[in-house]
Amino acid sequence: MEKNNDVGMIKLTGLWKKEGKDGVFYSGKLSYNTNILLFPNKYKQSEKDPALILFIAKAEKKEKSKPEVEEDEIPF
């Protein structure tokens, strides 16, 4: 983790801007199996309501794809 000594903050991760079916949101990895997602609060009704909502989610495992090889292409 990276610390910014000027203001005493610790960097956890970076967030990437993405476009989803409901609009723009930001996402990043918090650890190898945890994602964070930051969305605008589309239910905001007053200045007392938060502008953004932060979610934490289990990261989906990406399956390693094996190249498909035809039986007659095997070199032995």
Please state the domain count of the chain: 1
pLDDT at position 50 is 97
Residue 31 lies in a domain: yes
Residue with the bigger pLDDT between 61 and 66: it is: 61
Residue 4 lies in a domain: no
pLDDT at position 24 is 94
Determine the structural domain holding residue 24 and report its residue range.
16-60
> Helix, strand or coil for residue 44?
coil
The 10s digit of each residue's pLDDT in 13-62 is: 999 999 999 899 999 999 989 999 999 999 999 999 999 999 999 988 77
Residue 67 lies in a domain: no
Instruction: Record the pTM.
Output: 0.67
Q: How far apart are CA 71 and CA 76, in angstroms?
A: 10
Q: How far apart are CA 58 and CA 72, in angstroms?
A: 41
Q: Is the per-residue pLDDT at 69 higher than 70?
A: no
Residue 72 lies in a domain: no
